[in-house]
Amino acid sequence: MQKNQKFYIVVFYLTHVVKGGDTIKKYVILLSSILIAGVLFSGCMQNETKTETPTLKVAYLPTDHHAALFVAAKEGNLFKDKYGIYMKEIEPKKKYELYENGKKVADVELVQVVEGGAKIMTLMAQNQIDIGLNGVPPAVFAIDKGTKAKIISALQGEGSAVVIRKDIPANNWEEFINWIKEQHANGKQVKIGYPLPISIQYVMIKKALEAEGITYTEDPNNKEAMVLLINCKGQKSMPQMLSQKELDAVIAWEPTPEVLKTEGIGKPIVYSKDLPPKGMWKDHPCCVIAASEDALNNKRDAVKAFLKLIVLATKEINENKELVIKDSAEWLGVDEKVEEESIPNMKFDTNPEPLKEGTYLFVDVMNKQGAMDGKLKGVSNKSEIDNILFDFSIYNEIMKELNE
């Protein structure tokens, strides 16, 4: 039986059974009404308390491309004292409370995904996460195929490299291309690994090989092509595959290139900004922040506070390299020397405007390859692409508040 039902029974009993005159009855009715009102009001307050603080589920990859998140999570006191917005750690790397101006805005649950950005967007499509930090291609492909999400901010650009086995006699991209040609002349096929088919690294290595006139295939039965491209299904297997000579080279995002270098497994020969075609990948977008439309509609204030913290964390990163090196090394469990080599290869910037041109280029390349089969199929109009992929309204509000 519910509490309110019990109170009504008490009232009925006191007013209809208890004797003692109308005056007593009036007092009983008044007292009972006050008690009932208190219970009802208390129930409403409890319901409000339960729903007023939303939970933001945020997915990210184990890469220093997402260093802004690591810094924001680890440097709560810094952001509290300096900006009045911060995350309070409840469980390291997993649970946090997000505060702004002394008020709790949201509970934040961090979800590390090792499989890649495509997995993050799948989780978003399944309503298991609200925000995803991942590459442009996974976000674009997912939205093309119907995932109800928008890219709400840039996060980071550049930050990938081609790494070859340490025993290969080449020290730069040009020498590596010549080595590939020599191997082909001797009847040998060069094997290059890439993280995932839905990744900017996959697109870049294909375009770079095409620019050099190097033929490639993904079919292991095709022995005529000069290069066999191999899907490594993430980057975890790359060190072992290189060291055991299952691969001759990989294209990977940081900090894997520097890990391979530090561990003596491979040597980076070209960073993504310098890959051919010449000038095509300079300042290229890499990682972005995507949010589900449900979160944008129903958790907007929480999303805004989280994005503001990331914007401020990015500012701190660009002003204090020692801080981001330390926090990234601790979060990822790598030596600080790795991050000292890795961080300078990236550009941390949340401004979404430069992101647009690189995204238009990616959509165009994917359409030419027949990879787009949904909302973006055959779409070349920039305004239409903007409407499908982007929502920068929250970011623009934040910039006005920060006077930037």
d(CA 111, CA 175): 41
Mean pLDDT for the stretch of residues 313-323: 97
Instruction: Give the burial string for 237-264 (b: 16+ CB within 10 Å, else e).
Output: ebbebbbeeebbbbbbbbbbbbbbbeee
Q: Is residue 280 part of a domain?
A: no
The upper half-sphere exposure of residue 344, i.e. CA atoms within 13 Å in the direction of its Cβ, equals: 7
Mean pLDDT for the stretch of residues 333-350: 96
Return the pLDDT at 315.
97
Distances (CA, A) of 100 to 54, 80, 82: 14, 8, 12
Q: Is residue 243 part of a domain?
A: yes
Checking if the pLDDT of 327 tops 90, the result is: yes
φ and ψ at 186, to 5 degrees? -95, 10
Return the pLDDT at 171.
97
- CB count within 10 Å of CB 404 equals 9
Higher per-residue pLDDT: 47 or 324: 324
Instruction: Give the burial string for 284-317 (b: 16+ CB within 10 Å, else e).
Output: bbbbbbbbbeebbeebeebbbbbbbbbbbbbbbb
Return the pLDDT at 361.
86
Say whether both 292 and 302 belong to one domain. Answer: yes
Q: Is residue 124 part of a domain?
A: yes
Number of domains the chain is built from? 3
pLDDT band at residue 17, thresholds of 50, 70 and 90?
very low
Say whether both 269 and 302 belong to one domain. Answer: no
Say whether both 154 and 298 belong to one domain. Answer: yes
Sheet order of strands, 190-194 included: 216-217, 227-231, 190-194, 249-253, 160-165, 266-271
Mean pLDDT for the stretch of residues 355-367: 90
Q: Is residue 223 part of a domain?
A: yes
CATH code where residue 231 lies = 3.40.190.10
Say whether both 356 and 293 belong to one domain. Answer: yes
> Which of 16, 31, 52 finishes a domain?
52
Say whether both 203 and 293 belong to one domain. Answer: no
pTM of the model: 0.84
Q: What is the largest CA-CA distance in the chain?
A: 113
Say whether both 295 and 148 belong to one domain. Answer: yes
List CB contacts of 61: < 8 A, sequence separation 6 or more. 112, 113, 114, 116, 117, 120, 133, 134
Q: Is residue 279 part of a domain?
A: no
Say whether both 135 and 189 belong to one domain. Answer: no
Say whether both 66 and 106 belong to one domain. Answer: yes
CA-closest candidate to residue 253, choices 51, 391, 63:
63
> Which of 246, 274, 302 finishes a domain?
274
Say whether both 145 and 216 belong to one domain. Answer: no
Distances (CA, A) of 357 to 9, 131, 282, 284: 70, 23, 12, 9
Q: Is residue 189 part of a domain?
A: yes
Return the pLDDT at 22.
52
Mean pLDDT for the stretch of residues 336-358: 94
Say whether both 186 and 249 belong to one domain. Answer: yes
Say whether both 295 and 150 belong to one domain. Answer: yes
Mean pLDDT for the stretch of residues 283-305: 96
Q: Is residue 350 part of a domain?
A: yes
Q: What is the domain extent for residue 43?
A: 3-52
Return the pLDDT at 369.
83
Mean pLDDT for the stretch of residues 36-58: 60
Q: Is residue 300 part of a domain?
A: yes
Higher per-residue pLDDT: 218 or 2: 218
Strand partners, 194: 231
Say whether both 146 and 167 belong to one domain. Answer: no
> Which of 245, 274, 303 finishes a domain?
274
Sheet order of strands, 85-91 included: 85-91, 95-100, 103-112, 55-60, 131-135, 285-292, 149-158, 346-348
pLDDT digits (tens, 9 = 90+) for 387-402: 999 999 999 999 999 9
Mean pLDDT for the stretch of residues 265-289: 94
